[in-house]
A and B are shown apart, each in its own frame.
Chain A
Amino acid sequence: MTAPGAGRDRCRHALGCAALLLCGLAALPPATAAGNATTPTPAPAPLHLTTALHLVVDEGAAPLRAAPARQLDWRQLPGTWQPLALPQEPVRPLAVPALVAPPTAGAAIRTSWYRWRLPANAAGDAAWALYAARVHSDGPVAIYLDGHLVHAAQRGGAHWTSARTPLWVDLPGPAARHAHPPGAPAHDLLIGLRHAAPGTDKVPGWAARQGAPTLSTLHIGAPGPLAWRDRTRRWLQRDLPALGSAAFLTVGLYSLVVWLLRRSDRGYLLFFALSAATFLRTLQVQADWPIAPDAFAWLTLNALFWVLALGHVVISGLHRQPQRGLDTALLALTAAVGLLTWPAWAPGWPELAAAVDGLALAMGATVAAVGWLRCRGRSRDGQWVSAGIGLCMLLDLADRLPAGGWLPAEGIPLGAYGGMVTFAVFAHLMYRRFAAALHEVGETHRQLALRLQQREADLTDTHRRLRAAEQQQTRAQERRRLMQDMHDGLGASLQGALQSVAAGPVDEAAIQQLLRGCIDDLRLTIDSMEPVDADLLLLLATLRYRLGSRLQAAGIRLRWDVSDLPRLDWLDPRCALHILRILQETLGNCIQHARATEIHVHTAFDARWVRVQITDDGPGFDLPTALRSGRQGLATQQRRAEAIGARIDWQPDPATGRGCRMTLHLPRQGQ
């Protein structure tokens, strides 16, 4: 708002000028550029106004919320101006804005006026700005420059955020200022704060001073150098606490979702409730609407009790000590406050609010102190929570202490940081739980790895033993096989040779024959150990290679009539030796007993069996008799065949009805 027609004589006053410009003037450049609009001058350092001329005007029973006049000359105000040191801060209106609710009807209304005389060149050619850390009053705030209204606020009464929002006014620029008469050396700045007369609400104690307006020191100058003050204070007084509680609520909502998925853990629900209550309590730092005894006032007042009650529940859960009396008392108190402060049936709201707010401090102190004592030696987490609540109470208390004590004047209100303290404490708790859970998981992993290692070692050991046992079994089997073969093969041959020699004089050729038979046995044993790679024909070929010369020597023709055969995968050395022995025995019988002239070796196979047939053209024999006598080793052959899952049979040659045909049926698949 500009003040184009502010043309009065403003040069006559000199009163208070020395006091007015206490610190700023000495640093000001000489006033040579006054009135010179064409030459730009560098902006001087901003003025810091730490004193003012003060005048309180009684308005009688006028309404508190009156619109300020558009123009006002300070000389028309009745009364004597008195110097006043700033800041004027009778009580900090920060912790309990509810207390500054509108005064009851009929209360005496006053306007506190503050006045300064500013040098004409205070801001050079730049536009001016006015900054004050705190301006607060029940009613409207009006600012006049050279008699013209340049700023009006709070027409509907104080807002929840009023006490937290610094004052920032862009004053009219050089062009407008020069509109006032040339040569005018100075400007008049006037601030009026309308409010109820202190003490009229009959609130006892320190709150009796409620109602008196608050005004901090003022800074005036170019907007550039001042802007950071405004921004920083806004940030610290409003935005940062609001952000903190919003972050708390976000984590709380996450916690709520976790609780919905895991109902068993009530801790998550408690955490959410705490974050929600804290958020409601902190809402007032951003609530940009007039203070009134409404539901929001009720909410913001009661939220503190809820936070404390929830804090108590958390602490109780941590130390696990029974304290029914205290629990009941705190819950009853919280419930009672909730009921009694409901605006609809609480006509004496401001008084009640003030009393109840004091109660909250007491309750917080109790919860913190009892919690700390109970948790000592029982729960480190509980002590943290107790200490956090205690710190919150101290911060709240700090805002209620009168200014000018051991707290810095115009300091940042700390009560709103209680939410962030709570957040930090619970974040710390969460971290500790998380770290503990991680540690537990790590420990579990370690244990599991250890057990796994143990099992692996056991398994390896078992495997090793199994292999050793298997090897031992294999060796035992091999030994048994060789022993059996020594007994049935070479042993039997040597035994036979010995008996022949012992029975009487034997000629040299016969002995040679006997011994060659023994060596043949031995050769077959050795041959059986060579891998034949599942090839039965190779086995038959080997047999022929070893024994062919004996047949030849005996004058027997051999008809070798074999065809390709399927692989017999079960053909290991044990089976190979059994087959060799069976066939050797058969050929031996042909030579020794059958008086044959020709032997026919034939192979065939079908889906299940591979057959080897050895047919001689001798006279043949009676099978039952031969089996009974055991002379021709038929029983041994049968036993060997059974040992490898084969069958053996003898019958006369079907073509001639004479001779003998041995058929060995070998299964294509092993047993």
Chain B
Amino acid sequence: MTHPANPHASTGGTLLRVAIVEDDMDFLDTLAAAVGAEPGMQMVGSACSRAAGLRLLDGPVADVLLVDLGLPDGSGIDVIQAAVARWPACGVMVSTAFGDEAHVIRSIEAGASGYLLKHAEPASLVEEIRSLHAGGSPISPLIARQVLMRLRAPAADAPAGLTNGPGERRGDADAAALSAREHEVLQLITRGYTADEIAAMLQISRHTALTYVRRIYSKLKVNSKAEAIFEARQRGLLG
């Protein structure tokens, strides 16, 4: 499986730096072993608690940060939010046993770009990390369904081509609306098609298909912020 070059990703001799905040020592060891065995990847830090995770952010910057939500001294959500603020270029993944939508959606709204199923084969763990770093994001049909329900559908008369680009729809009001193509991708995912099949159907590359998901995730994050602001206004917390 090949990944097209990403302008922000390391290429050639540059190492992909991975950090992890995880209290499950077995998984931590498995991952450290997998990363260590993978050429071009390097573990640059690990922490077993929320406090240690937050301290980790003062250290050297990582390219991908894995965070477990259920930490002994608090929620991994705090670490995700802090990482998004401190390491803006870092891709944050939440590690989860089941990839159930409740955990994943919450993490994505906090700023995570993807998730990692803990019990996947070591090879696919490394694969997922690489894919995320390259700009792709995993998504399950149930999560796609949730996103479709949370984000507004595109206006029916808007031509797909016009709402295709990532730079469009910067206005606050439209920030959380899906483009026609994004909507289409999500629909196909809920019907069980894989990223490869979708890429073939839409005549785009697999990588492009995966970057749609990343964009959709960021809209979900914006949407949750907008909702928070709206709610705060309603409650009179903001002017």
Interface residues of A (CB under 8 A from B): 516, 519, 522-523, 526-527, 530, 532-533, 535, 537-538, 540-545, 548-549, 553, 560, 562, 564
The 7 closest A-B pairs by CB, nearest first: A541-B192, A541-B141, A544-B192, A545-B140, A519-B119, A523-B98, A542-B141
- Known contacts: A526-B100, A530-B101. The answer to whether A541 contacts B189 by CB under 8 A is yes
Sample of 16 A–B contacts (CB below 8 Å): A519-B119, A522-B98, A523-B98, A527-B100, A530-B142, A532-B145, A533-B145, A537-B192, A538-B191, A541-B191, A541-B193, A543-B192, A545-B141, A545-B192, A549-B120, A560-B197
B124 within 8 A of A: yes
Interface SS of chain A: helix, strand, loop or mixed? helix
A533 and B190 CA atoms in complex are apart in Å by 12
Which residues of B in the span 144-203 have a Cβ within 8 Å of any Cβ on A?
145, 189-194, 197
Across the two chains, which residue of chain B brings its CB closest to A549?
A: B124
A32 and B142 CA atoms in complex are apart in Å by 128
Contact of A542 among B97, B120, B140 (CB under 8 A): B140
Interface residues of B (CB under 8 A from A): 97-101, 119-121, 124, 140-142, 145, 189-194, 197
A543 and B191 CA atoms in complex are apart in Å by 11
Which A residues are CB-close (under 8 A) to B192?
537, 540-545, 560, 562
Across the two chains, which residue of chain A brings its CB closest to B97?
A: A519
A532 and B190 CA atoms in complex are apart in Å by 10
Which B residues are CB-close (under 8 A) to A530?
100-101, 142
B193–A542 touching, CB < 8 Å: no
Give the distance to chain B from A512, nearest Cβ to Cβ, in Å.
Answer: 8
Give the distance to chain A from B149, nearest Cβ to Cβ, in Å.
Answer: 9
Which A residues are CB-close (under 8 A) to B191?
537-538, 541, 562, 564
Q: A538-B142, A540-B192, A549-B124 are in contact. List 17 more A-B contacts (CB 8 A).
A: A522-B98, A526-B98, A526-B100, A530-B142, A532-B142, A535-B145, A537-B192, A538-B145, A538-B190, A541-B141, A541-B191, A542-B140, A544-B192, A545-B192, A548-B194, A549-B120, A562-B191
Across the two chains, which residue of chain A brings its CB closest to B191?
A: A537
Contact of B190 among A522, A523, A527, A541 (CB under 8 A): A541
Across the two chains, which residue of chain A brings its CB closest to B189?
A: A541
A562 and B194 CA atoms in complex are apart in Å by 13
Contact of A535 among B121, B124, B190, B194 (CB under 8 A): B190
A545 and B101 CA atoms in complex are apart in Å by 13
A516 and B140 CA atoms in complex are apart in Å by 18
Which B residues are CB-close (under 8 A) to A553?
121
B190–A537 touching, CB < 8 Å: yes
A564 and B191 CA atoms in complex are apart in Å by 8
Across the two chains, which residue of chain B brings its CB closest to A533?
A: B145
Give the distance to chain A from B145, nearest Cβ to Cβ, in Å.
Answer: 6
Which A residues are CB-close (under 8 A) to B141?
538, 541-542, 544-545
- Known contacts: A526-B100, A530-B142, A542-B142. The answer to whether A560 contacts B193 by CB under 8 A is yes
A289 and B190 CA atoms in complex are apart in Å by 110
Which A residues are CB-close (under 8 A) to B194?
544, 548, 560
A548 and B141 CA atoms in complex are apart in Å by 13
Give the distance to chain B from A459, nearest Cβ to Cβ, in Å.
Answer: 38
Across the two chains, which residue of chain A brings its CB closest to B194?
A: A548
Which A residues are CB-close (under 8 A) to B119?
516, 519
A383 and B119 CA atoms in complex are apart in Å by 103
Which A residues are CB-close (under 8 A) to B197?
560
A560 and B188 CA atoms in complex are apart in Å by 12
Across the two chains, which residue of chain B brings its CB closest to A564?
A: B191
Which B residues are CB-close (under 8 A) to A540?
192
Give the distance to chain B from A396, nearest Cβ to Cβ, in Å.
Answer: 88
Which B residues are CB-close (under 8 A) to A562?
191-192
A548 and B189 CA atoms in complex are apart in Å by 13
Which A residues are CB-close (under 8 A) to B99?
523
Give the distance to chain B from A482, nearest Cβ to Cβ, in Å.
Answer: 16
A527–B193 touching, CB < 8 Å: no
Give the distance to chain B from A250, nearest Cβ to Cβ, in Å.
Answer: 70
Give the distance to chain B from A518, nearest Cβ to Cβ, in Å.
Answer: 10
Across the two chains, which residue of chain A brings its CB closest to B118?
A: A519
Which A residues are CB-close (under 8 A) to B120?
549
A541 and B197 CA atoms in complex are apart in Å by 13
Give the distance to chain B from A663, nearest Cβ to Cβ, in Å.
Answer: 18
Which B residues are CB-close (under 8 A) to A523?
98-99
A542 and B193 CA atoms in complex are apart in Å by 10
Give the distance to chain A from B97, nearest Cβ to Cβ, in Å.
Answer: 8
Most chain A CB within a 10 A radius of its CB, from B100, B101, B120, B142: B142
A16 and B221 CA atoms in complex are apart in Å by 130
Give the distance to chain B from A154, nearest Cβ to Cβ, in Å.
Answer: 99
Give the distance to chain B from A507, nearest Cβ to Cβ, in Å.
Answer: 15
A79 and B80 CA atoms in complex are apart in Å by 144
Which A residues are CB-close (under 8 A) to B140?
542, 545
Which B residues are CB-close (under 8 A) to A544?
141, 192, 194
Give the distance to chain B from A368, nearest Cβ to Cβ, in Å.
Answer: 84
A527–B142 touching, CB < 8 Å: yes
Across the two chains, which residue of chain B brings its CB closest to A520?
A: B119
Which A residues are CB-close (under 8 A) to B190?
535, 537-538, 541
Most chain B CB within a 10 A radius of its CB, from A516, A519, A562, A564: A519
A527 and B140 CA atoms in complex are apart in Å by 11
Most chain B CB within a 10 A radius of its CB, from A522, A523, A548: A523
Which A residues are CB-close (under 8 A) to B101?
530
A515 and B228 CA atoms in complex are apart in Å by 41
Which A residues are CB-close (under 8 A) to B189?
541
Give the distance to chain B from A541, nearest Cβ to Cβ, in Å.
Answer: 3
Which B residues are CB-close (under 8 A) to A549?
120, 124
A527 and B146 CA atoms in complex are apart in Å by 13
A542 and B99 CA atoms in complex are apart in Å by 11
A549 and B145 CA atoms in complex are apart in Å by 21
Which B residues are CB-close (under 8 A) to A522?
98
Give the distance to chain A from B169, nearest Cβ to Cβ, in Å.
Answer: 27
Across the two chains, which residue of chain A brings its CB closest to B145?
A: A538
A526 and B142 CA atoms in complex are apart in Å by 11
A514 and B127 CA atoms in complex are apart in Å by 22
A533 and B149 CA atoms in complex are apart in Å by 11
Which A residues are CB-close (under 8 A) to B100?
526-527, 530
A347 and B197 CA atoms in complex are apart in Å by 133
A42 and B151 CA atoms in complex are apart in Å by 106
A543 and B119 CA atoms in complex are apart in Å by 17
Across the two chains, which residue of chain B brings its CB closest to A530?
A: B142
A527 and B101 CA atoms in complex are apart in Å by 9
A538 and B188 CA atoms in complex are apart in Å by 10
A532 and B146 CA atoms in complex are apart in Å by 10
A537 and B187 CA atoms in complex are apart in Å by 11
Which A residues are CB-close (under 8 A) to B97?
519
Which A residues are CB-close (under 8 A) to B145?
532-533, 535, 538
Give the distance to chain B from A555, nearest Cβ to Cβ, in Å.
Answer: 15
Give the distance to chain B from A489, nearest Cβ to Cβ, in Å.
Answer: 14
Which B residues are CB-close (under 8 A) to A538?
141-142, 145, 190-191
